[in-house]
Structure 1
Amino acid sequence: MASPQETVSLDTLSAQQLSAVKKQLDEEVEALSVSYGQLAAAQGKFKECLRVVSTPPSSSSSPDGGKKEVLVPLTNSLYVKGRLADQDKVIVDVGTGFYVEKNTKSAAEFYEGKVRELEANIKELEAIVQNKSNSLRVVEGVLRQKVLAQGQGQAAAPAQA
């Protein structure tokens, strides 16, 4: 069971303890920043899917009967040309290896929902990163004051001896 976080005055911590807190906050901000980048990349992919699904089909007066030409991925780096047999039906990856056939309107709604969901997650994560960054700045400021105070105390001690 998780216990509530205790509030500790930074002034009561030693420079070594403050350094440990600073290191932990640095690691947390770094991990959150990586997560932010991954969420933004996922959102970009969903926006691209939405753009592709929302693109109107090519003219049916074309020589290929209006079948939209696409690149079909065989691997991450190997594609072959293909044509859509039915431009109103697409296969959508709904996650964890499951694919569902949807019409383009339903697929667009699915991707719009994903984009909105990721936008909310990104905003929430931005707030957390901002909060952690502010905490990090406060810890750095207190640590700097402690180090300066220790330096001044050590400089004054030899002069008195």
Structure 2
Amino acid sequence: MAAAGEKGQQIDLNQLSVQQLTQVKKQFDDEVQHLSNSYQNLRVAQGKFRDCVTSIRDGVADSVKDKPLLVPLTSSLYVPGTLASTSHVLVDVGTGFFVEKSTSDATKFYQEKIQELEKNIKDLENVVNGKANNLRVVEEILRQKMLAQQQGQVEGQAG
């Protein structure tokens, strides 16, 4: 059995010692954990962009133009305000920069971000699945080697 290394090299896992297999297993564990966290972060970001689309659709309409609303200054601090425009919004385009866009352009911007993240999420799923499969192979070979080692010790003590 062989697993792909970082540089595309093939490693015969059967030739590795138990200690080396344990190190390879730990590396795969760490990689799978990191990639799973990244996957979760991408899902959270995608949800936030969907919330932005919903906010534009429901919160920036002529029906709410003259109604009072709460404007978020931070995640927990809101101040009273009113909607200045139902046709334009400020869009956070990253690193604290905001651009004024029409509501249709802003919705399109966020929809493109959602689609881009969906592609990245699918790519990451494939990577995570590949790493998880490699991890299972390493775990199985490690288990077999440890059983063989224990069996050898038992036979050595009996003989």
Does the TM-score normalized on the shorter chain lie above 0.5?
yes
Q: Which amino acid aligns with 2:42?
A: L
Which residue number corresponds to residue 122 of structure 2? 123
The residue type equivalent to 1:125 in the other structure is: L
Name the structure 1 match of 2:47: 44
Structure 2 CA distance for aligned equivalents of residues 29 and 69 of structure 1: 47
Report the residue type matching 1:44 in the other structure: G
Rounded to whole Å, the distance in 1 between the matches of 2:52 and 2:120 is 19
Task: State the alpha-carbon separation in 1 of the partners of residues 70 and 38 from structure 2.
Answer: 30
CA distance in 1, matches of 2:130, 2:69: 45
Could you state the TM-score of these two structures normalised by the residue count of structure 2? 0.91
| Secondary structure, aligned partner of 1:93 | strand
Q: Which residue of 34, 37, 41 maps to 1:34? A: 37
Offset of 1:69 from its aligned partner?
Answer: 3.9
Q: What runs of 5+ residues in structure 2 fail to find an aligned partner?
A: 1-5
Query: Is the 2:71–2:79 contact (alpha carbons within 8 Å) kept by the matching residues of 1?
Result: yes
CA distance in 2, matches of 1:54, 1:130: 36
CA RMSD of aligned residues (A): 1.5
Task: Give the superposition deviation at 1:17.
Answer: 0.3
- In structure 1, runs of 5+ residues without a counterpart are 61-65
Aligned runs of 1:64-75 on 2, under 5 Å?
Answer: 66-75=65-74
CA distance in 1: counterparts of 2:117 and 2:158, whole angstroms? 61
The alignment partner of 1:122 has SS state of: helix
- The residue aligned with 2:25 is 22
Shift of 1:68: 4.9
> Across the two proteins, how many residue pairs are aligned to each other?
153
Q: Sort the Cα spacing of 1:68 and 1:88 in 2 relative to 1 into closer, same or farther, 3 A.
A: farther
Matched-pair contact (CA < 8 Å) for 1:94–1:100: yes
Q: Which residue of 1 aligns with 2:3?
A: none
Identity, % of aligned pairs?
53
Superposition deviation, residue 58 in structure 1: 4.3
Alignment of 1:1-161 (within 5 A): 4-55=7-58, 57-59=61-63, 66-160=65-159
